[in-house]
Chains A and B, each alone.
Chain A
Amino acid sequence: MIRLIGLNKWFGKHHVLVDINEHVKPGEVVVIIGPSGSGKTTLIRCINVLEKADKGEIFVNGVPVHNPKTNLCELRQQVGFVFQHINLFPHMTALENVTFAPAEVKLMSKKEATDVGMDLLNKVGLAEKAHSFPGQLSGGQKQRVAIARALGMRPKVVLFDEPTSALDPEMIKEVLEVMKQLAYDGMTMVVVTHEMGFAREVANRVVFIDQGRVVEVGTPEHFFTNPQTDRAKLFLSRIL
């Protein structure tokens, strides 16, 4: 579903991503973990080209993302993205946030988009908030709407960038529940998160990144209980 081959990214002289190779198969859930500034956000932003990779190849569902001829809008319609800072459209209701893009790019009729949108809001447990504006929702509710928005375009894969790290502790659970459900439904997901409970429960693999390099890859069970590298050990001892 996603294939990264020799991916490199520089910000000026700063080598932020170094020779990343990864393959995410359909239906897999991959958790990316690593210290602050290690390049996790940059990595997933390269996959939907919010950030442009400088070297290497990226394929999403067979589409060569690195090819300048690739239509980025069509690509991004297949790749949902959930932001750490949520970024809902404040001038639209929860429902409009979900239905706007599918209707605008003519993926669906307005009516169809509304049906799909209500369906998705229902799925994230917010059907009754459909006509509320983001300003009237709690942080957790907003992030759940944002997940519904990302699903609105019927993406093949959803990328999450620390979706719960800007939320109050009591709201984290409701968002993780929605994400777990999505994983059980078979969605392909790449999730940057430090939520170990989530990783243990649904991740097929944990990818540990430090200073732009993949340092260790393993099953959650293996990675959290028996990390192989010193850097992973040090990192885990800090966040545990």
Chain B
Amino acid sequence: MEDFSLPVLLNYLPLLLSGLPGTVGIAFFAILCGVFIGFFAGLARVSLNPVIKHLATIYVEVIRGVPLLVIIYLIYFGLGSFVDIPRYAAAVISLGVFSGAYVAEIFRAAVESVPSGQMEAALSVGLTRGQALRKIILPQALKRMVPPLAGQFISLTKDSSLASVIAIPELTLTTYQAITMTFRSFQFWMTTAFMYFVLGWVLQRVARYLERRFAVID
């Protein structure tokens, strides 16, 4: 194994860290995008309209059957051949479309985990299904969505490393660059692994906090 050199590491740390905003930024916007898509796809999944429901099911199943790397290539090169799409946007859209399918499933599972008696009670006092969903089912479902959503966000942060294939200056790409210049693979990959770990850990803490905040007595 190569010998570990602290001076080299410190020397190239700024380069490595320059990828961090890219990773955080892509993950952040992709999460927003994924939650937005996933929320509506999830609503469609619990819709009574069979057409809407089927379209959402197709979206979820197709996306879950295709590797993220392929989705990134498809959107960057496929979409890119019709419209001029910045790499950054391509990365965010790819990750957003990808995670949207998983968020939709989290959403559906959370809605279905609310006991059916809640919907019945809401209907029995004369609310419409829409009112019941919005005011009775969703508040209870959202609380249940926090832990799996946090897991999804952490996955997405890690998956954003794949954006390096379309030359987005994020953590994985800057790691490649540092290694190209120093030929010290191991110590840089270790450092990068540690940084991903810290990001995930911070998200985990935030999720715990939110979970406690959202916990109502039931």
Contact = CB atoms under 8 A, between A and B. Distances in A.
Contacts of B127: 73, 101, 104-105
B131 to A, nearest CB: 6
B218 A135 contact: yes
B208 interface: no
B126 A87 contact: no
Contacts of B118: 87, 89
The majority secondary structure among interface residues of chain B is helix
B207 to A, nearest CB: 20
A105 B126 contact: yes
A186 interface: no
Nearest to A134: B218
B213 to A, nearest CB: 13
A76 B120 CA distance: 11
A125 interface: no
A153 B128 CA distance: 14
Nearest to A45: B120
B123 A76 contact: yes
Interface residues of B, number: 21
Contacts of B128: 73
Contacts of B131: 104-105
A230 to B, nearest CB: 36
B139 interface: yes
Interface in A133-165: 133-136, 146, 149-150, 152-153
Interface in B93-150: 115, 117-118, 120-128, 131, 135-136, 139-140, 143
Contact of B140 (A83, A85, A90): A90
Contacts of A238: none
B126 A73 contact: yes
A88 interface: yes
A193 interface: no
A180 B126 CA distance: 25
Given A77-B125, A135-B217, A87 B117 contact: yes
Interface string A63-90: 0000000001110110111010101111
B216 interface: yes
A152 B121 contact: no
Nearest to B118: A87
Max chain A CB contacts within 10 Å: which of B125, B131, B140? B125
Given A83-B117, A100-B135, A50 B216 contact: no
A74 to B, nearest CB: 7
A143 to B, nearest CB: 12
Contacts of B115: 87
Given A89-B136, A90-B216, A50 B126 contact: no
A158 to B, nearest CB: 10
A47 B128 CA distance: 17
Q: Which 5 A-B pairs have the closest CB atoms?
A: A77-B126, A90-B218, A135-B217, A101-B125, A87-B117
Given A72-B123, A81-B121, 20 more contacts: A48-B124, A50-B120, A50-B124, A73-B126, A73-B127, A73-B128, A76-B126, A77-B125, A80-B124, A83-B124, A88-B121, A90-B140, A90-B216, A91-B139, A101-B126, A105-B127, A133-B216, A133-B218, A150-B124, A153-B125
Interface of B: 115, 117-118, 120-128, 131, 135-136, 139-140, 143, 216-218
27 contacts: A50-B123, A73-B127, A76-B123, A79-B124, A81-B121, A83-B120, A85-B117, A87-B115, A87-B117, A87-B118, A87-B121, A88-B121, A90-B218, A91-B139, A91-B140, A91-B218, A101-B125, A104-B135, A133-B216, A133-B217, A133-B218, A135-B217, A135-B218, A136-B217, A146-B121, A149-B125, A150-B125
